[in-house]
């Protein structure tokens, strides 16, 4: 990684009042969580249509829950990495710092971030299919599959957004509003393939924000980025943080 680029990124952050961050699966890769579309990505091994759509859940809730139970087991064993930790620290350093994530793994929360918009939900939350109530549940493995609502006995589903489902309009509205107001938007570890999340940085850019992207590989967003830091988030973010400490 070119140290001039790290220095430039640190200077952009230093001069910004409002910072927004969008993260994707790549930020958790160094913790050991598989991404979706990479070489060993989940969507290379599994068919999203069978596991992550409302139709799949209606057809075979047990199969869908087995997959989520497996993923909860996997994610429950890993720890946040230096990229999650640096973002949690920056939330306490910068006056207006908002984190928007596509990840459902809960690792930002585990790292200590508090001001988070979880666009696609959270794998540690379950939702009643009848009453829509959302509860936190960290049991791994789950005792019963599919789990049942303790209040009404109906089936619970993972509180995540599946393909073909709309995002929570309040969360989406807040995300777009943060993007319209931020001066800098940092985009980390997303293939920028899934909408509407992928539009957020473009929206911020149109509203005048500087875009900094961190990813080992270029993405459709790279040509819009003011600065592309090519590499791993867990290595680059601590370097920027170190540099911020010295200016
Ligand atoms: P993807 O799997 O599509 O993309 C992961 C990105 O992370 C790729 O661009 C990688 O190059 C990059 N990457 C890999 N290792 C990295 C590292 N160490 N540091 C930084 N970047 C790294 O994941 P998303 O873009 O998050 O939806 O996928 C978006 C959505 O598609 C997910 O939220 C999920 C999935 O279907 C739901 O769960 C609803």
**Contact 198/214 with Cβ under 8 angstroms?**
no
Residue 130 DSSP symbol: T
Please write the tens of the pLDDT for every residue from 160-177. Answer: 999 999 999 999 999 999
CA distance 185 to 148: 40
Residue 247 has pLDDT above 70, yes or no: no
Structural domains of the chain sorted by starting position, each given as residue range(s) with its CATH number in brackets: 3-32+78-120+167-244 (3.40.50.1220), 38-76+128-160 (3.30.1600.10)
| 159 counts as catalytic | no
The alpha carbon of 149 is separated from its chain's Cα centroid by a whole number of angstroms, namely: 27
Please write the tens of the pLDDT for every residue from 53-83. Answer: 999 999 999 999 999 999 999 999 999 999 9
* Ligand 1 pocket by Cβ (under 6 Å): 24-26, 29-30, 35-38, 41, 102, 104, 120, 160-161, 188-191, 193-194, 214-217, 219, 232-234
Please write the tens of the pLDDT for every residue from 212-228. Answer: 999 999 999 999 999 99
| Segment 108-133 mean pLDDT | 97
- Short-list 162, 158, 211, CA closest to 183: 211
| Segment 240-244 mean pLDDT | 95
């Amino acid at each position: 990684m070119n140290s001039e680029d790290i220095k430039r990124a640190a200077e952009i952050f230093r001069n910004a009042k409002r910072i927004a961050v969008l993260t994707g699966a790549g930020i958790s890769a160094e913790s050991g969580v598989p991404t979706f579309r990479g070489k060993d990505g989940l969507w290379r091994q599994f068919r999203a249509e069978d596991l992550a759509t409302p139709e799949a859940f209606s057809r075979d809730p047990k199969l869908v829950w087995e997959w989520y139970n497996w993923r909860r087991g996997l994610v429950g064993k890993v720890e946040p990495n230096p990229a999650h930790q640096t973002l949690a620290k920056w939330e306490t350093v910068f006056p207006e710092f908002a984190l928007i994530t596509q990840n459902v793994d809960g690792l930002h929360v585990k790292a200590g971030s508090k001001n988070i918009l979880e666009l696609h939900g959270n794998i540690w939350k379950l939702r009643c299919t009848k009453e829509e109530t959302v509860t936190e549940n960290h049991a791994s493995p789950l005792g019963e599959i599919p789990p049942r609502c303790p209040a009404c006995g109906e089936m619970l589903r993972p509180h995540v957004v599946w393909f073909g489902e709309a995002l929570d309009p309040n969360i989406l509205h807040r995300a777009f509003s943060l993007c319209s107001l931020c001066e800098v938007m940092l985009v980390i570890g997303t293939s920028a393939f899934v909408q509407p999340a992928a539009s957020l940085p473009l929206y911020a850019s149109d509203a005048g924000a500087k875009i900094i992207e961190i990813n080992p590989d270029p993405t459709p967003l790279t040509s819009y980025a003011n600065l592309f830091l090519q590499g791993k988030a867990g290595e680059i973010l601590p370097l920027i943080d170190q540099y911020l400490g010295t200016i």
